[in-house]
Each structure stands twice: as C-alpha cells, then as structure tokens.
Chains A and B, each alone.
Chain A
C-alpha cells in the first residue's frame, strides 16, 4: 500500500516502524472506586517499574547520561513523592490523579526555584507521564528508544522531541500532521532526515511494519516487495555516492554559473555549510540574536556575532537579512499589540521603520563587522511591499555604511512592480515561502490549507518570472532564498525564470548541484515555460518533469 504526503528532501529510507505515543491527557479528578490501599499498590508498582526502566536505560547509556537517568530513576520512586501520593489516595483520588498531582506539586516547586532546578522540572513531567502511562497500560509518550534503527511515525513532533532525536537510530520520519514549512519539516531539512510530513494515512501503520520512506516522491510504501526494497537500497547507495562526490561550484550543463548559497540561522552552521560546498550565504537570519530577549542586543554584541559569520566566509558573499520580527516570530519590544492578522500586520521592514533605532543599530553593527572582515556583505530588508519602503531602507543602509543593499520579494506587490523596486536598490532575493503564502492567501502555518502552500503554483512562478525579467533588464541580481530552491527540479525552473543564485538549507546543496548540471540554459527555460503554462501546482510539476525526462533521456547528439 502507498501512503502519500509531502516529502522533505530527496532521500530514501527502509526500516521497521516505531510509533511515537501521543501525550497523555491530564487524568480526570474523579473519586476512585478502589480502596486507597489497592490504589497505593498500583501506584507504587508502576513507579518502581518506571524506575527500573530508567536504571536499565542508564546502564546501557553509560557516562554522564547514566548519572542523569539514575537520578531520574530515584525520583520515580522518591519517598517524599510516595508520601504525597499516599496523602492524595487517602482523600479518595485515583492512583493516576494522585501521581499526576504529586509530581505536579514538586514540578511547580522546582520551576519556582529557577535556574538549574527549573530545568529539572521538565524531567518531572516526563517521569510523571511515564508512570501514568504505565498505570493506564499505554505506551510511554515521547520519542521511543527501541534500541535499533527505525522509522519514526508520529502525529507531529514537538520542538522538545526533536531535540532528543537520536539521528544514528532514526532512519526516517513520517508525520501525520504538518506541512512543508512546519517545524518538523524544517528540522528534517536541517538535519537531512528522510521525512514525509502530512501523511494522513500513516495512522494505519503499526509497530514493526517494514516501510520504504521515499521523500523524493512523497510516498510511504508499506508492506514493500523484495524488488521494491532492492530498488530503494540501490537508491540509498547512489545518494551516498552523490554526497561523497567532490564539491564543485553550482553551474548548468554548459558551465553557466549559478552560485549555490546556504540559508543559515546562526554562525554555528558555517563550517557544515562550507563542507557541503556553500559558495556563500544567501540568507542569514538574524532573529536568533533577538528572540528570547526583552530588549534588543547591543551594537557590540551584534557586531561580535556578525564578525564571526563574516570571518567564516572570508572572500565569499554573505547576504544578511535584518531583523524579521512579527507574524510567527513576535518580539515584544518591537510590537506588543495583539493583531487579528499578524501575517498582514506590523512585521518585517514595517516594524523596523516603526522602531528605527533598532534598525539603525543593526545596520551600524553590520557595517562595522564588514569593515573588519574580508567577506562581501550584502544586506536586505524583509517584507518590502512598496518602492517607498525600498528607498527608505537603501538610503538608511547606505548612510550607515552598508555597500550593497537590497530587498526581499515576499509580497505580490513587490513582485508586480519589481522593475521599479529593483531600480531603487542593488538586488532582490525572493522569499518563496512568504511569497506563496501571500499569493495563494493561505496561512503557511495552517495544516488545513497546506496544499495551497506550494511554490510550484503557476501564479507564484509567474511573479518570480516578473522579478527575474526585471533583474535581467536592469542587470541586477535576483536570488531565491526560500525552500523552493531546495527542490532539485524546481531549482532548474527557477533558474529558467531568471534566478541568478539559489540559497537553501546546506543539506540540499548536493542534490540541487547534481540537478542543475543536467540542463543547459535553454533547457531550464523550456522547463520554466512548461511549468508557467500549467493550470495548477501539480500540473506544473508534472509538465516540468515531462520536459526534464525528454531532455535527460534524449540520445546525445553525435560530436
């Protein structure tokens, strides 16, 4: 049987399914119909089973992890906790509820102490869920650890779950919920995990089923035949060979250069991006400096971070996006007003213009870092919708010492008047995630409209073509820095539409590099033309695929 979803990346994986149990609901506070003594025996039995499990996991893990797990095992049957549970059982509560409340009371106590203690509070929640799951004879929630490589099947992953994923063991990931820009999809892309998100029918997969996860085709094959497994295994080997291939600059078949750049969220990702062949940075997100902060970081602090990044990419191009707050990334010191439609609200350049001192400080720190290093710094503004905003940003950037200033094209308005926007700045970079969201009027965070969030839609492609044409006429660079650039076939279409560079998660570089090398500039234009003429996203993809197959399977012309 085949289950369809949205594939992330181009990978393939084969392995046994392990399902992730869903978080347990809070036990209902109802009177127990059992004797408190019996309830007490149930509670203590489950507590000691969980303690024994944690001890044995600790013994297997060894090292520092063993100390942590042993401490958790002791907490699971802590005498003070047993007393707290017993008190509640005397009042007629069920074992589940008593365990829940007893753990919660210590949890709140530790959380209130702050610092190290507050971090341990989350451990208590985890142990509490384990004990309650055992009482209810349900599987323990959280990422399972079956002790062998597996394909993880989950409704969706919480950020805390993804942090604990053991990438040595997780062969592939299938989620029932989530779209191509969900948290899980972004993580899978960053970590190069073979993943399918939004696979609604994956609820039917059972523990131990062997499945093929085919991200390139957005398919999960359950109960595969030996032939299918053999084909998948061959593809896995081919991909491993591709990744091991020498890294060359991005170029089309005739040698036309298409620089392949990295999207980075902090300077820490620089070494990995360079190893994978990034020729620079096409999108450096600066939000990490500001998130979790009540006030903007100082110019000195910012300058240190930018210097670190620019030093890592000495001699290469680095495009930094100034703070893109608002919508899904709210910052209280920029905009604390509750908005009905935050995606259409005071965000990006609009919020910065409203709090200009923050923008001035950021541009000052960037210019200082640029002066002290050898990278080629370009700076761009997010969420630009008008020529007026473009002029405002470039004038301010130049005043503060930025040499190359451009804008992101994420709104249909900026794309539709791209000739006038580009005339007022040095370059444009198309953010395909937001451009798709605004063109299709579909919230990119909303699973129910995830199908509309597809950059293959001809309406989106046509806007990109407008920007590409304007860039070519004015001789100004037009980059792509959304997830669309990471799709190897769409990357060729984007070049055909006029993109001069492509920026993506570093893990996608190898696939896109290999794909571009198969097509000439005319081929890319043919693919783009076929996609533009289609009536929908699926049709555009199929049309481009058909042209691509003709090109790659055509007999080579005699020399």
Chain B
C-alpha cells in the first residue's frame, strides 16, 4: 500500500472533466484506489459519483491510497493528474 497527499491543480477543482480523467485512470489501473479529502472519509477513486460528491475544489488537500499491482507507478500517474490544471 502506498499513499501521498497533494493539492488539487485544476482551476475548477475535481469536477467535470478532471474528475472524469482521474476516475477513468483509477478504474483502468486495476489497483484499489481511494481518495480522501482533508477531514473527510476515504471514497472509491474509481467512482466518478463518489469523487464529485466530495466537492473537492482547487487547492484542496487530498490523500491518495493505492493498493495492489504496480502501486508506485499507479500512484505517480494519478498524482500527476491531480497536480495538472486540466481546465486551462
């Protein structure tokens, strides 16, 4: 199990297109991915409904936990997605 805490880079937060890209990647990784908004409960990173209903905004801190498969590579890839501003 690997984990990392990062700040959201997308201007409009983890909604709409950024949320879609993130959950698509999490689902495709085959690993178990959870995402936790600072102060919140962990939710399934492959569920777009669970992710958008966290109301994660630009600059919010989230913790990613990846378990199974090539954990480190999956984590690095997902962190990249969260740090990128997809709304530019």
Contact = CB atoms under 8 A, between A and B. Distances in A.
A169 interface: no
Contacts of A106: 49, 53
A71 B53 contact: no
B47 A80 contact: yes
Q: Is the interface of A mostly helix, strand, loop or mixed?
A: helix
Interface stretch (A109-117, A289-297, A331-339, A498-506): A109-117
Q: Is the interface of B mostly helix, strand, loop or mixed?
A: helix
Given A78-B48, A79-B46, A117 B20 contact: no
16 contacts: A71-B16, A71-B17, A71-B20, A74-B20, A74-B24, A78-B47, A78-B48, A78-B50, A79-B44, A79-B46, A80-B49, A81-B49, A106-B49, A110-B52, A110-B53, A120-B52
B66 to A, nearest CB: 16
A70 interface: yes
Interface range on chain B (Cβ under 8 Å from partner)? 10 to 19
A104 to B, nearest CB: 13
A117 B53 contact: yes
Interface string A110-131: 1001001100100000000000
Contact of B49 (A67, A75, A113, A116): A75
Nearest to A109: B53
Interface in B33-88: 43-44, 46-50, 52-53, 55
Given A113-B55, A117-B55, A78 B49 contact: yes
A117 B47 contact: no
Interface of B: 12, 15-17, 19-20, 23-24, 27, 43-44, 46-50, 52-53, 55
Nearest to A81: B49
Contact of A80 (B16, B20, B50): B50
Contact of B23 (A74, A110, A116): A74
A247 to B, nearest CB: 43
Nearest to A106: B49
Contacts of B46: 79
B48 A75 contact: yes
Interface residues of A, number: 16
Interface string A82-119: 00000000000000000000000010011001001100
Contacts of B44: 79-80
A115 to B, nearest CB: 9
Interface string A371-382: 000000000000
A5 B44 CA distance: 54
A81 B48 CA distance: 10
**5 cross-chain pairs, A with B, having the tightest CB-CB distances, nearest first:** A80-B47, A71-B20, A80-B50, A78-B49, A74-B48
B15 A117 contact: yes
A74 B20 CA distance: 8
Given A78-B47, A81-B47, A116-B15, 14 more contacts: A74-B23, A74-B24, A74-B27, A74-B48, A79-B50, A80-B44, A80-B49, A80-B50, A81-B49, A106-B49, A109-B53, A110-B52, A117-B53, A120-B52
Contacts of B43: 80
A70 B15 CA distance: 14
A145 to B, nearest CB: 21
A78 B47 CA distance: 5
Contacts of A113: 53, 55
Contacts of A120: 52
Contacts of A109: 53
A79 B47 contact: yes
A120 B47 CA distance: 15
Nearest to A82: B47
Contacts of B50: 78-80
Contacts of A74: 20, 23-24, 27, 48
A381 B27 CA distance: 61
A74 B55 CA distance: 18
Nearest to A116: B15
B19 A71 contact: yes
A510 B17 CA distance: 44
A209 B6 CA distance: 58
A67 B86 CA distance: 12
Given A116-B15, A116-B16, A117-B15, A71 B48 contact: yes
Nearest to B15: A116
